[in-house]
Amino acid sequence: MREAPIGVFDSGVGGLSVLAEIQHLLPHESLLYVADCGHIPYGEKTPEFIRQRCSVMAGFFREQGAKALVLACNTATVAGVADLRRDYPDWPIVGMEPAVKPAAAATRSGVVGVLATTGTLQSAKFAALLDRFAADVKVITQPCPGLVELIESGDLHSPELRTLLQGYVTPILAHGCDTIILGCTHYPFLKPLLRSMIADDVSLIDTGAAVARQLHRLLAERDLLAQGMNLPVKFWTSGDPQSLRKILPLLGQIPSNVQNFDL
């Protein structure tokens, strides 16, 4: 059971930012990754639809013998993680949430900006995070339609992307924020571009590393940490496998193992 793989999924390639953190912290683990590109973006879908996709993903990874599940998507976590934990109480399941707590602790100006999908920002879970951890902090939220689609196309640098991102960052900077939460797993891939738009003393915070630490903790508690050599990551996509093969090297992954996911 220790050498069983870990299942990771996202609406697309954004979860690869989380996958990279897991690879860094848990180098002996074998990983399975599903990019549900045929149904992207989750942020514009209904909670019912997302819960259904989460159920499909969980069933698939159980069939693959996965010893743990990571929802590498904020929107999927908001909609589906509670149902999955109810349905699979024996299974280590790790979800995402915007990094409100560390951002509130880090800010010096008392103003935190949040870049996220519409679905995440409108969720009750996000509202609860603000109530719990940001009572003494001013939080400026900014929905970012269009960013996920450009990243999914492999665009990390174009003038179109820069213009779109600048339009989202400028308003939150105008409020005096010195800390920006990247509230979607796609957005860490934009850090180099973001850095060119903001002052050096503005912090960018995401939760990929925290997810990897939580996964490590849950596996260690159950004596499920792998001991041997890991296998190459296996990838599936509900979109075009060839498109994923082209994008993977841009996002730090080897594209040798991409299959079609048609559930």
CATH number of the domain residue 64 falls in: 3.40.50.1860
From 208, 251, 257, 211, select the one nearest 237 (Cα to Cα).
257
Domain assignment present for residue 47? The answer is yes
* 238, two tokens: 């509900």
- Residue 37, pLDDT score: 93
From 37, 54, 144, 184, the catalytic residue: 184
Q: Tens-of-pLDDT digits for all 263 residues of the chain?
A: 899 999 999 999 999 999 999 999 999 999 999 999 999 888 778 889 999 999 999 999 999 999 999 999 988 998 999 999 999 999 999 999 889 999 999 999 999 999 998 878 888 888 889 999 888 999 999 999 999 999 999 999 999 999 999 999 999 999 999 999 999 999 999 999 999 999 999 999 999 999 999 999 999 999 999 987 778 999 999 999 999 999 999 999 988 889 999 87
From 207, 211, 121, select the one nearest 168 (Cα to Cα).
121
Tell me, yes or no, whether 91 and 214 share the same domain: yes
Tell me, yes or no, whether 48 and 110 share the same domain: no
Please state the separation of Cα 64 from the chain's center in Å. Answer: 22
Tell me, yes or no, whether 162 and 250 share the same domain: no
Domain assignment present for residue 1? The answer is no
Domain assignment present for residue 111? The answer is yes
Domain assignment present for residue 134? The answer is yes
Whole-structure pTM value = 0.92
**221-224 contacts, C-beta under 8 A, 24 or more apart:** 222/92, 223/2, 224/1, 224/2, 224/4, 224/67, 224/68, 224/92
- Residue 1, pLDDT score: 84
End position of a domain, from candidates 177, 205, 233:
205
Tell me, yes or no, whether 223 and 192 share the same domain: no
How far, in Å, CA of 145 to CA of 141, rounded?
13
Tell me, yes or no, whether 118 and 174 share the same domain: yes
Domain housing 26: 6-96+208-260
From 37, 54, 73, 144, the catalytic residue: 73
Tell me, yes or no, whether 189 and 156 share the same domain: yes
State yes or no: is 73 an active-site residue: yes
Tell me, yes or no, whether 251 and 182 share the same domain: no
Tell me, yes or no, whether 89 and 219 share the same domain: yes
Number of domains in the chain: 2
Tell me, yes or no, whether 59 and 124 share the same domain: no
